[in-house]
Structure 1
């Protein structure tokens, strides 16, 4: 992955576009953040306040360039995830498959994970889930910290067992999140400007809605792809309707997850892991944006699921690995095909998003079934009737 990052000027590796994110965009934000302010009026800044400290972290290694320090810290986060998954897999009743999936699955994304800060965010979610069994309060605090960097780690808490564990976890998350947010709002100006930029996002070409619009171009739809809000998005008639439909599907997915939690009656040690993966999958496939680095999140959560022998998500993990491999062909290798909605680009997106949609549906079904109480065996116990006792010796009167 490091070698690929050093040679990403090649055409099939993105012609420098992958590393440019850190070297130019992140470094520019670093200059603003180091002055005690979040970027204001920047259409590309769409991240919660917790992203600020992550982008400032390379300053901890002042003897390195910003780019090199960022990559080093990303590798450290990768090492932390690997160590946590390995340790979890060595416990009694656990499996080393989780660490194996992470170590072998992440390189399928080539050098993209090293030039984005999604590995750091995934570390918060992975550590949060693995900590829930021993310390719900620590798990809640880690999830809250991750949610302040990128919102999705909050979904890691959707499957916490009912009762005391849920109260401790969610209370800890609320307190830690409020404290960290207050600290960041005090230390930096413009902490909530990202909300205005996030609300203006359209339909990215790699999303499920974007796949439909890409196919619509072959049927005469006059829209086109344009770079805006940090991604290639479709512009043209009906794009706003597709975006609204995506938001409606996200709300519906959240409602289904809440319904599962209300109706679930059976919890195992793997249920919090399985629920987190199902939730993030549902929110990913219904999102207006599905960037390649989103696969880092899914790989990390799938790896956590595989550390438990009770998980229901093994076939889902296999689908995620397959979708990750296809994502690499989409970006950076053949991204131009996707931008211009050629038949090759549309086919690639159909396959990748089809795998993700199948994984999301299968994940939800298996999670739902696992929450049902065990079915009765169908055997009706025989009622013993008390009759006259046997008198083998023939001692009763009349014999």
Structure 2
């Protein structure tokens, strides 16, 4: 009987994996088609693909000569980003744009495979892989023209390798952090004791060693810090949404392209930026407090904590670009591989926010830039979903790690009759 059951389950599992592979091929073909038609007005009018063939390619030319683009105010990324932007050189038979897209698809396929393998293990689910495969196309062709898929791959693999190798977890988290900082947050929820010491130690050694190598090979490795400090309030951020509504009340601010994004300029913008930084500090303090007070760890706690941390830092950031949703999709997908996760409703909110993000950019970005009522309401809805998801995520994470309260057994009442069984002695 057990053999028959296992055979049926194995057949069903293979069918689900085949369906997942077919869905990946179909949706990625659609994303490639959209990228090929990027010039259409509703698909961005060429702005999505321009990021790669203009900006990334220009940086590639500087990096290929052994220096980071220190004097470019758009360069705001840690040194590891240079390695990703140089990676298209691995495919010399293609143009830079073609190579970049191929490598992005390879990273996407790697994430899908990792989620599928993890979800196929006993006690796990393929729901996470399904969310990634079906959720990423909600951003249309944007993921293929940004390197956030590669960054997300580091974070996803770091989390999925944690149960089997704390060393691998620390290494991948550190490499991801060198590319775009936030993957370091995946180490926040590692179980206390030897697991945390090992993962954090390997992350520190890997990060320090890789940073030293990059500093030796390239000039100006820390130039990005200066550019990051000058960033303002992007129109798609939570603070930007407040300022967009303020324009309808007479606020005289304007939208201007600077530091690689459309940002607000005018009175009180700096105050809003400082408030965002203060909220980020509060979020960090809450996460540290959770870490100190957490008493119970489930197999899903590291995944849930990673999603909660990145959500909080995203929502309180001065910038919430559409590609940031790629990070949240990947982490939510990791959560859904485990039956122990408490983040299922949060994952649903992330999916909804992702769908709205593609409406805001590229479809109706002109409305968002012009701060029309349509653009304001659209961003309020998207950011409202993200803020709700962040709060709900932290609350559910906090509740899942509190010590279990022992339920007292029933106490004998006045009507309870206690019967004693006769005691027997002897063999």
Q: TM-score, normalization: structure 1? A: 0.96
Distance change (3 Å), C-alpha of 1:190 and 1:378:
same
Q: Give the aligned partner of residue 47 of structure 1.
A: 77
Secondary structure at 1:304's aligned position in 2?
Answer: helix
Alignment of 1:84 with 2:148, yes or no, is no
Match of 1:157 among 180, 187, 190: 187
Match status 1:357 vs 2:387: yes
Deviations 1:65-121 (A, max 9, x none): 000000000000000000000000000000100000000000000000000000000
Alpha-carbon distance in 2 for matches of 1:391, 1:234: 85
Structure 2 CA distance, aligned partners of 1:230 and 1:18?
A: 13
Aligned equivalents of 1:331, 1:66: Cα separation in 2: 24
- CA offsets 1:140-193 (integer angstroms, 9 cap, x no match): 110000000001000000000000000000000000000000000000000000
State the alpha-carbon separation in 2 of the partners of residues 61 and 142 from structure 1: 23
Corresponding residue number in structure 1 for 2:11: none
1:244 aligns with 2:274: yes
CA distance in structure 1 between the partners assigned to 2:362 and 2:184 by the alignment: 29
Instruction: After TM superposition, give the deviation of residue 378 of structure 1 in Å.
Output: 3.4
Distance 1:355 1:381, change over 3 A: same
Q: Report deviation, 1:377.
A: 1.5
Distance 1:336 1:388, change over 3 A: closer
Q: Does residue 373 of the first structure (1) align with residue 403 of the second (2)?
A: yes
Q: SS of 1:372's equivalent?
A: coil
Could you tell me how far apart the structure 1 residues matched to 2:207 and 2:335 are? 25
Name the structure 1 match of 2:301.
Answer: 271
Partner of 1:317: 347
List structure 1 segments (4+ residues) > 4 angstroms apart after TM superposition. 380-383, 387-392
Q: 1:30 to 1:377 in 2, by over 3 A?
A: same
Q: 1:34 to 1:391 in 2, by over 3 A?
A: closer
For residues 277 and 410 of structure 2, the distance between their equivalents in structure 1, rounded to whole angstroms, comes to 49
The structure 2 residue matched to 1:25, chosen from 30, 35, 55, is: 55
| Match in the other structure for 2:265 | 235
**2:69 matched to 1:74?**
no
Distance in 2 between residues matched to 1:2 and 1:300, nearest whole Å: 20
- SS of match in other structure, 2:403: coil
Q: 2:229 aligns with which of 190, 199, 205?
A: 199
1:348 aligned onto 2:348: no
- Report how many aligned residue pairs link the two structures: 389
Q: Residues of 1 paired with 2:300 and 2:407: CA distance? A: 24
**Cα 1:377–1:222, aligned 2, differ >3 Å: closer, same or farther?**
same
Provide, for residues 344-369 of structure 1, a one-character-per-residue CA deviation record: whole Å limited to 9, x for no partner. 00000000000000000000000000
Give the alignment partner of residue 301 of structure 1, picking from 326, 331, 334.
Answer: 331
Going from structure 1 to structure 2, the CA distance change for 1:347 and 1:187 (only over 3 Å counts) comes to: same
- How is 1:55-74 mapped onto 2 (pairs within 5 angstroms)? 55-74=85-104
Distance 1:209 1:41 in 2: 28
SS of the aligned residue for 1:225 comes to strand
Q: Secondary structure at the match of 2:298?
A: coil
- Correspondence 1:277-292 to 2 at 5 A: 277-292=307-322
Q: CA deviation at 1:374?
A: 1.3
2:199 to 169, 185, 210: 169
C-alpha displacement of 1:379: 2.6
Whole-Å Cα distance in 2 between the matches of residues 165 and 179 of structure 1? 21
Alpha-carbon deviation of 1:375?
1.8
TM-score of the superposed pair, with normalisation by structure 2 = 0.90
Shift of 1:54: 0.2
Partner SS for 1:234: strand
Distance 1:306 1:256 in 2: 24
Structure 1 residues 2-57: Cα deviation after superposition (integer angstroms, max 9, x where no partner): 00000010000000000000000000000000000000111000000000010000
Q: 1:313 to 1:390 in 2, by over 3 A?
A: closer
Q: CA deviation at 1:376?
A: 2.1
Displacement of 1:380 in angstroms is 5.3
Note the residue ranges of structure 1 that are not aligned, 5 or more in a row.
393-399
Partner of 1:8: 38
